[in-house]
Amino acid sequence: MQDSLAIPATMPAMQIREPGPPDVLQLSELPVPEPGPGDVLIRVAAAGVNRPDCLQRRGLYPPPPGASELPGLEVAGIVVAVGEGVRTFTAGDSVCALLAGGGYAGYCTAPALQCLPVPAGMSLLAAAAVPETFFTVWTNVFDRGGLQPGEQLLVHGGASGIGTTAIQLGAALGAQVYATAGSDEKVQLCESLGAIRAVNYHSNDFLEVLKPLSEGGVDVVLDIVGGAYLEQNIKLMARGGRLVVIGILGGAKGTLNLGLVLSKQLVVTGSTLRARPPEAKGEISASLFEHVWPLLSAGTIKPVIQQSLPLTEAARAHERLEANEAAGKLVLVVDAELAATTAS
């Protein structure tokens, strides 16, 4: 362990050479960053791959001011140094962390508020697939959406990293879950994770399939599609329902029937996570540790990882994600030996 805490002067890092296709990702050697006040320095074992990484690579989703220009919104690894004022973690701790950028590298810094201990019994590779999706699902489905036990949840893109997380969490916490997905194989995955019914949106209209099943409509819709699904979502929702939009893969504009919004007393909301301050993300972290970490440690729920690839194959990971080939998460392995270790 002592060797793993030694901090080199430089590190491998995957830079975005210029906005463009996946092959603009370029492996470089960069200085190891230093932790500022309230930060920890993490030796990265593995980093999760997410759609915002692809948007950043294309020049469409720049990091917030002060954040690393490197892609990568989540990692797992070992704390090797702490900044001024950090009392919650010490060198040698295994953590997973939500980042505003910088995960595709040998080392990264993260606000301690955005770090959590790796769940007991989980490998660091698996833990790298946890922060971005679990933070996103918790704040949108349970905080903004207010999902309660016994309510009905519809998850669009159910086989994605966000979707597989939302299905598991919804089912584990007492909701009735439905989902949409893009193939029969992905439908089967959603149902194996706890969805009562998943719909292949290429061969069926989810509104026609789910409306008879949902007995008055669904209470919360988690939507990554946006405009293309807006009209159907509103028709499917129950009185007092909450539509939470977190993506616009199907366009930013759609038809909104305000009459239904009024008569059903609906809430239409949306959010992004990356630009929120560490204090706000720290509140989500505390909720996750209280409500979700026991489920992860017990193995009741787990991140769904389709494939892990070495950091040098980041472009291939982006290609797979943008082609909708992935079911669950893709993870980049930065340090294979460290990624294989398991938290006690």
Domains and CATH numbers, the chain: 2-130+303-339 (3.90.180.10), 134-270 (3.40.50.720)
Label the pairing between strands 267-270 and 237-245: parallel
pLDDT at 262: 97
Task: Give the pLDDT confidence of 103-134 residue by residue, as tens digits.
Answer: 999 999 999 999 999 999 999 999 999 999 99
pLDDT at 106: 98
For residues 334 and 125, give the distance between their C-alpha atoms in angstroms, rounded to a whole number.
9
Q: Would you say residue 1 has pLDDT above 60?
A: no
pLDDT at 3: 64
For residues 130 and 75, give the distance between their C-alpha atoms in angstroms, rounded to a whole number.
9
pLDDT at 5: 83
What six digits make up the tokens of 212? 């008879």
Residue type, 35: P
Cβ neighbors of 283 (< 8 A, separation 6 or more) are none
Q: Roughly what angle, to the nearest 10 degrees, separates helices 184-192 and 161-172?
A: 30
Share of the chain above pLDDT 70, in %: 99
pLDDT at 33: 97
Q: Contact at 8 Å (CB) between 92 and 70?
A: no
Task: Give the pLDDT confidence of 268-314 residue by residue, as tens digits.
Answer: 999 999 999 999 999 999 999 999 999 999 999 999 999 999 999 99
For residues 148 and 171, give the distance between their C-alpha atoms in angstroms, rounded to a whole number.
11
The confidence band for 326, taking pLDDT boundaries of 50, 70 and 90, is confident
Task: Give the pLDDT confidence of 201-247 residue by residue, as tens digits.
Answer: 999 999 999 999 988 899 999 999 999 999 999 999 999 999 999 99
Q: Would you say residue 2 has pLDDT above 60?
A: no
Q: Would you say residue 256 has pLDDT above 80?
A: yes
For residues 2 and 262, give the distance between their C-alpha atoms in angstroms, rounded to a whole number.
62
pLDDT at 344: 82
The confidence band for 84, taking pLDDT boundaries of 50, 70 and 90, is very high
pLDDT, average across residues 64-74: 96
Centre a 10 Å sphere on the Cβ of residue 62 and count the other Cβ atoms it contains: 13
Centre a 10 Å sphere on the Cβ of residue 218 and count the other Cβ atoms it contains: 26
pLDDT at 325: 87
What six digits make up the tokens of 274? 């990356």
Task: Give the pLDDT confidence of 156-171 residue by residue, as tens digits.
Answer: 999 999 999 999 999 9
Average pLDDT across the chain, whole number: 96
Share of the chain above pLDDT 90, in %: 95
